[in-house]
Structure 1
Amino acid sequence: MPNVNLELPQILLLGVACTLIVLIAVWGFHLLTADNQVSAELETTTKKKPEEIFILHRVTELIGLPFRGTTVKLLGDGMMRKIRGRIDTAGRPEGLTAERYAQRKAGEIVLYGGLMLLFVLSGQTFFGIIMLLGAVLTDLDLYSRRQKRMDQIQRQLPDFLDVLAVTVGAGLSFRQAIERVSASMPGVLAEEFRLVLQQMDLGTPRKEAFEQLRVRNRNDSLGKFVTAIQQAEELGAPLSQALMEISLDMRRDDAQYMRRLAQKINPRVTLVSTATLLPGLMLLLGGSMFFGLDIDWSTITGGM
């Protein structure tokens, strides 16, 4: 075997790289497979338990703390507004704010950029590229959470509107009906409507509060609901009848959404099936042909 002599700095760098690769891989697997669990009971008077911060995010926030103010200034007001919108769309995970995002992003650039530079200077370009990918860890987390949140809202909206229409038809006002349904059907959508009610309690006009709901979630079905509610309010149409019609439209949209998801899953299933079955099939065919031929092994091995 060839002798491979590694100096102590190279061994340390290799160990750090392997550790970070494993942590990033575990976190990526968690993002792909973990589902947000909804508890069966929800007490509106108690505060929600704060979400635990991932260890790599804690490290990068600690490293980026001295650069927080500078990073916020460099990003500017316009970019900070866009960052707030992305965080709100993802459900404000881990209590994240735009300022903490800037702090974490600065820490990611310093940490992973420094590791990349060390690996490149030591001739380990491949590991340097892998380290550079860590600089987008927070963005990947927000994107994954946003997609899961949009899927949850899409699934919950038709049932939520059905119950809301029945509650309004029973004689409750629209505001009271939202409070009742949000308390009886906990989930992502109920949290968003409770936030709308809180904004209205603080003096925000109802139209503006629902418009912020639309912007905050960016879901097509939810946007149609907000538009229909505003139109029904402006035209003076019966709210219960409008809600029933909206609910039917949402169920059609939900069916189309599920069909689109199924169409996206089909190529993945085909790829996994091909990658799993093809090697075994090739071995089976190759082995059958190999053992099915009448080969004189003595002529190949020289009589051994």
Structure 2
Amino acid sequence: MNTLLLLLGVAMIFAALFVVFAALGGLTQERTGVHRSLAVLEALTSAPQEMKQELEPPFSERVLIPLLGRLQGLGSRLTPADASVRLRQKLEHAGNPKGWTVDRIIAGKVLCFLAALVVSLLASVAMGIGFLPTLGFVVLASVAGYLTPNFYLYQVAYNRTEQMQRALPDAIDLLTISVESGLGFDAAVAQVARNSEGPVAEEFARMLQEMQIGRSRSDALRSLAERTQMPELRAFVSAMVQADAFGIPVGQVLRVQSSEIRVKKRQWAEEKAQQVPVKILIPLIFCILPCLFIAVLGPAAISIINNFSGTVG
């Protein structure tokens, strides 16, 4: 019995020593880990800004770009083969907005589709409508979300075309004056691109760059016409290509085109002015006339109601 108690006491002593040494080692390791963490934090704090940017990429690079890559792959499998060509043409008409590519548009269409699907489904559940109305609402919202990037590109292209219609006559006049003053066609185009602003100046600058890298004048002009949706600019390009092919003096052609574009601009302004009464008809009927009727006939209606009710107004 005494021997058993002695062995048990020795075992407990060794166990206590083991626990003590283990605790000391754990504390040492913990302190070492804390020191290492503090050292890393201090190194990151004192590191140059370039190194911090490399070690800590922004949220867009860590999350958004991989997400867009996966959505792009999904959209590419669901999109028809010729859709990329149509999207690239729409981008050309919109002036190639910065950061917009065909792949990003496809990924954006999938993202808008999923967002519209989730939001419409949650809204339907919150309103507590039936199954068939929920299904129809979700389908319509999802399709609208999928087509949202296309609507945006169409609106950007439409606004850009209107800006070009306003600025084209002045650009052609400046081009005509520059050629008639003795400059060559390329120098006159550079003068227009340098002294003008907006989409027309950008398109002329791009045409000049294409001619400088080796493309012929006719090909550069045809590319200019393909990137726009303006009939006036297409007619101008056609006249300039024919003048270049048949050797007709450029100044004479420019003078005729300038006067024709001025006439078309006046006709376009008159057309817009004729559209004003039609466009103002809906807000006039639904917004202005009801308020006018309330303001004019309201006191008379109150007096009539008071008279019929037997009260004195």
Structure 1 length as normaliser, TM-score? 0.71
The runs of at least 4 aligned residues of structure 1 exceeding 6 Å deviation read: 59-62
Instruction: Give the Cα–Cα distance (whole angstroms) in 1 for the partners of residues 177 and 170 of structure 2.
Output: 11
Provide the residue aligned with 2:189 in structure 1.
Answer: 178
CA distance in 2, matches of 1:299, 1:116: 52
Matched residue of 2:227: which SS?
A: helix
Matched, 1:285 2:289: no
Give the C-alpha shift of residue 271 in structure 1: 2.3
User: 2:118 aligns to what?
Assistant: 114
* Matched ranges for 1:1-304 at <5 A: 63-120=67-124, 123=128, 125=134, 128=138, 131-132=141-142, 133-283=144-294, 284-291=296-303, 295=307, 297-298=309-310
Q: Which amino acid aligns with 2:83?
A: M
Aligned to 1:217, the other structure's residue is in SS state: coil
Residues 119 and 129 from structure 1, CA distance in 2 versus in 1: closer, same or farther, beyond 3 angstroms? farther
State which drifts further: 115-124 or 101-110: 115-124
Read off the aligned partner of 1:205 and give its amino acid letter: S
Kept in 2, the 8 Å contact 1:87–1:93? The answer is yes
For the residues of structure 2 that align with 1:262 and 1:61, how far apart are their CA atoms?
47
Instruction: Name stretches of at least 5 consecutive residues in structure 1 with no aligned partner.
Output: 1-58
1:60/1:105 contact within 8 Å kept: no
Q: Which residue of 2 aligns with 1:26?
A: none
Answer yes or no: is the 8 Å Cα contact 1:119–1:128 preserved in 2.
no
Gaps of 5+ in 2: 1-62
Counterpart amino acid of residue 287 in structure 1: P
Distance 1:149 1:296, change over 3 A: closer
- Distance (whole Å) between structure 1 residues aligned to residue 216 and residue 250 of structure 2: 18
C-alpha displacement at 1:277, in angstroms?
Answer: 2.8
Deviation at residue 212 of structure 1 after TM alignment: 1.3
RMSD of aligned residue pairs (Cα, Å): 2.7
Identity %: 28
Partner amino acid, structure 2, of 1:116: S
In the alignment, the residues of structure 2 paired with residue 139 and residue 184 of structure 1 have an alpha-carbon distance, to the nearest angstrom, of 33
Greater relative CO, 1 or 2 (CA 8 Å, sep 6+) = 1
- Larger fraction in helix: 2
**What displacement does 1:157 show?**
0.8
What is the Cα deviation at residue 127 of structure 1?
7.1
Q: What is the deviation of 1:174?
A: 0.3
2: distance between equivalents of 1:185 and 1:272?
A: 37
Say if 1:67 and 1:134 are closer, same or farther in 2 by CA, change over 3 A. closer
1:261/1:84 Cα in 2 relative to 1: closer, same or farther (>3 Å)? same
Q: 1:76-101 CA deviation, whole Å, 9 max, x = no partner?
A: 54221110000110112233111111
State the one-letter code of the partner of 2:297: L
